[in-house]
Amino acid sequence: LTFPLVSVTLLVSFGSSMLYGYNLAVVNSPAVYIKAFYNATWSQRYGHGLASGPLTLLYSLTVSIFALGGLVGSLLVGVLTERYGRNGVLSRSTLLVLLASSFMGLSRELGSPEMVIVGRSIMGLHSGRCHLDCEANLRGFLGLVPSIFICLGVFFAQVLSLPELLGNDRFWPLFLSVGVVPSSLQLLLLHCFPESPRYLLIERNDIFGATAALHRFLGTPNVQNVIEEMKEEQQSLSSIEMVSVWQLLWDRSVRWQTLSVVVVNAGMQLSGIDAIWFYTNTIFENAGIPASQIPYTIMGTGATEVIAGLIGCFTIEKLGRRPLIITGFCTMGLCSAGITISLLLQAALPWMRYVSVTCVVGIIAGFCMGPAGIPFLMTAELFTQSHRPSAYIVGGSLNWLCNFTIGFIFPFLQMSTGAFCNLIFCGICFLVALYVYFIVPETKNKTFMEISHIFA
178 and 41 both lie in a single domain: yes
Q: For residues 360 and 272, is the Cβ–Cβ distance under 8 A?
A: no
Q: For residues 75 and 397, is the Cβ–Cβ distance under 8 A?
A: yes
Q: Considering the chain, what percentage of its residues have pLDDT values greater than 70?
A: 86
pLDDT tens digits for 353-387? 888 888 888 898 888 887 887 887 788 778 877 78
16 and 93 both lie in a single domain: yes
Q: Which among 170, 193, 216 is the end of a domain? A: 193
| Structural domains of the chain, count | 2
161 and 274 both lie in a single domain: no
Backbone torsion region of residue 383, taken as left when φ is above 0, otherwise alpha when ψ lies between -120 and 50, otherwise beta: beta
Binned at pLDDT 50, 70 and 90, residue 7 comes out as low
85 and 16 both lie in a single domain: yes
Rg (alpha carbons) of the chain, rounded to whole number = 22
345 and 446 both lie in a single domain: yes
Binned at pLDDT 50, 70 and 90, residue 39 comes out as very high
Euclidean distance between CA atoms 295 and 289, whole angstroms: 10
pLDDT reported for residue 326: 92
In a domain, 278, yes or no: yes
189 and 252 both lie in a single domain: no
In a domain, 150, yes or no: yes
In a domain, 283, yes or no: yes
Euclidean distance between CA atoms 156 and 32, whole angstroms: 20
Query: Which of 429, 443, 318, 315 minimizes the C-alpha distance to 376?
Result: 443
Query: Please, what is the Cα angle at 207 between 202 and 213, to 5 degrees?
Result: 90
Tell me which DSSP letter residue 101 carries. H
At position 431, the amino acid (one-letter code) is L
Binned at pLDDT 50, 70 and 90, residue 350 comes out as confident
257 and 317 both lie in a single domain: yes
pLDDT reported for residue 143: 58
| 192, pLDDT greater than 90 | no
Alpha-carbon 399 to chain mean position = 9
Instruction: Give me the DSSP letters along 146-193.
Output: HHHHHHHHHHHHHHHTSTTTT-STTTHHHHHHTTHHHHHHHHHHHTTS
Q: For residues 396 and 362, is the Cβ–Cβ distance under 8 A?
A: no
159 and 269 both lie in a single domain: no
254 and 366 both lie in a single domain: yes
Q: Which among 162, 193, 224 is the end of a domain? A: 193
In a domain, 44, yes or no: yes
In a domain, 237, yes or no: no
Euclidean distance between CA atoms 409 and 397, whole angstroms: 18
Instruction: Give the domain extent around 175.
Output: 1-193
In a domain, 205, yes or no: no
Greater pLDDT, 309 or 60 = 60
In a domain, 213, yes or no: no
pLDDT reported for residue 138: 47
User: Going by C-beta distance under 8 Å and a sequence separation of 6 or more, which residues neighbour residue 245?
Assistant: 390, 393, 394
188 and 252 both lie in a single domain: no
Mean pLDDT of the chain: 81
| 447, pLDDT greater than 90 | no
Which of 119-123, 242-246, 260-264, 399-403 has the lowest average pLDDT? 242-246
In a domain, 199, yes or no: no
Phi, psi of 207 (to 5 degrees): -70, -40
Euclidean distance between CA atoms 136 and 13, whole angstroms: 12
186 and 268 both lie in a single domain: no
274 and 376 both lie in a single domain: yes
Greater pLDDT, 90 or 38 = 38
Q: Which among 178, 193, 208 is the end of a domain? A: 193
pLDDT tens digits for 104-143? 999 999 999 999 999 999 998 888 766 555 444 445 555 5
pLDDT tens digits for 67-98? 998 888 888 766 666 666 666 666 677 788 88
Euclidean distance between CA atoms 131 and 183, whole angstroms: 12
Query: Which of 256, 357, 265, 367 minimizes the C-alpha distance to 309?
Result: 367
pLDDT tens digits for 406-415? 888 888 888 8
| Sign of the Cα pseudo-torsion (362, 356, 294, 61, in order) | positive
What CATH number is associated with residue 320? 1.20.1250.20
